[in-house]
Amino acid sequence: MNIEAYIALSAILFSIGTIGVLTRRNAIVVFMCVELMLNACNLALVAFAKQHGNLDGQVTAFFVMVVAAAEVVVGLAIIMTIFRTRRSASVDDASLLKY
Amino acid sequence: MTAFWILAPVMVLAALGILFVRKAVHAALLLAVVMISLAILYAALEAPFLFAVQIIVYTGAILMLFLFVLMLVGVDASDSVVETIKGQRWLAFLGGALLATLLIVGIAQISLGAVVGLEDANSDGNVQGLANIIFSHYVFAFEVTSALLITAAVGAMVLAHRERLTPKVTQGDLAKQRMRDYAESGKHVGPLPPPGVFARHNAVDTPALLPDGTAAESSVSRVLAARGTVRSAPAEAHHVDEIEAQLHGDLPAADVPADDRPADDREGDEA
């Protein structure tokens, strides 16, 4: 039973999330990639909790989930507001927040 | 470890799929695959509470929220393939690959030692152990979380709220308006006529026929009319006759029901 494999998987998922944030244009998909990165970090935290035999890592992962839920609510509301004014969910179109 | 080796390739493939699928809905479904696999890995890592929270909060609440917003924005809101910055895509892939290599090489260099395992920490049960820590060491962070959640809820409501610019039209106002229209322009007060119901063809896209044989425009939905998919009952009757003729050889008019024939005849008269 080795924890390194979990950490490596977490690193791969985090990198994929980074690439997604950099390449995708649809704001919702970009947001999904951010969620993927957060989940990858959670996996590392839970794996390290098992490695060190205390539950602090799991508590941190739990807090990350709570913050992610709040972040998704506000982020999707912002995407909706931008879509309502610009009729587009592309991140390129939202370059000017004023209009 | 079996669960890990089965799920890890699935998760990596699903995550790569998010990068390459065109439609946002498919990306959301692939993200669901990753999240459910993560939940199973949490269960394998002796975190049953996080397993439940991952399923309930992530796949249950957050992904549903994503799908709802996708439905509001339009399910076929796909990405544009045009690059705004030249070479940005390849540089992003290169950077991501470099990051992955860096992290994995770093992980390969270290040795974490023997796994302690959570048997001791989970001896009173995982949920009880987590509760002990959350409500002692992390109680302040936990309380701050409540402020964060209420701020997020209020923020989302403010962002999603739209100011009403005209007063709300009540049912009474609509009734009065209808009577006023009748008094001023003689517009029909009653409900609109239903679309055509014929013996052979019964569909909302076929308008009802008025006593003089013309189609009643108001009996079909405005959407269908704008899309140009409204059929006409006489043409439909012709079509049915043709099919009948093909099916029964040269015996077309014998078993045509009475409902179709008048429409057919009338069209002949008009022409």
Distance between CA atoms of residues B260 and A50, nearest Å: 77
- Chain A residue with Cα closest to B88: A23
Q: In the structure encoding, which two tokens stand for residue A54, read together?
A: 């205390």
Q: Find tokens 């007060």 and name the residue.
A: B189
What pLDDT shows up at residue A58? 92
Contact B4 A80 (CB under 8 A): no
Closest CB to B121: pick one of A18, A53, A81: A53
Helix (H, G, I), strand (E, B) or coil at A90: strand
Q: Find tokens 């790569």 and name the residue.
A: B16
pTM of the full structure: 0.73
What single-letter DSSP state applies at residue A93? Answer: G
Contact B138 A28 (CB under 8 A): no
Distance between CA atoms of residues B233 and B239, nearest Å: 10
| pLDDT tens, residue by residue, A11-63 | 999 999 999 999 988 889 999 999 999 999 999 999 999 999 889 999 999 99
Restricting to B residues 58-97, those with a Cβ less than 8 Å away from any Cβ of A are: 58, 61-62, 65-66, 69-70, 72-74, 77-80, 84, 88-89, 92-93, 95-97
| pLDDT tens, residue by residue, B147-189 | 999 999 999 999 888 888 888 999 999 999 999 999 998 888 8
Residue B16 has pLDDT above 60, yes or no: yes
- Chain A residue with Cα closest to B137: A56
Residue B251 has pLDDT above 60, yes or no: no
Residue B214 has pLDDT above 60, yes or no: yes
Spell out which residues of chain A touch residue B121, defining contact as CB-CB under 8 Å: 53-55
Q: Find tokens 């006759």 and name the residue.
A: B241
Helix (H, G, I), strand (E, B) or coil at B202: strand
Distances (CA, A) of B229 to B23, B153, B190, B219, B224: 28, 44, 26, 14, 6
**B207 near B232, Cβ under 8 Å?**
yes
Main-chain phi, psi angles of B215, to 5 degrees? -80, 140
Contact A16 B19 (CB under 8 A): yes
Spell out which residues of chain B touch residue A75, defining contact as CB-CB under 8 Å: none
CA distance, residue B71 to nearest chain A CA (Å): 11
- The residue ranking higher by pLDDT, B221 or A74, is A74
What pLDDT shows up at residue B7? 93
Distances (CA, A) of B50 to B5, B66, B139: 20, 21, 18
Q: In the structure encoding, which two tokens stand for residue A84, read together?
A: 């309502």
The DSSP annotation for B75-119 comes to TT-PPP---SSTTHHHHHHHHHHHHHHHHHHHHHH----S---ST
Closest by CA to B49, choosing from B154, B128, B160, B105, is B128
Distance between CA atoms of residues B16 and B31, nearest Å: 10
Least reliable range by pLDDT among B49-63, B101-115, B222-236: B222-236
What pLDDT shows up at residue B199? 54
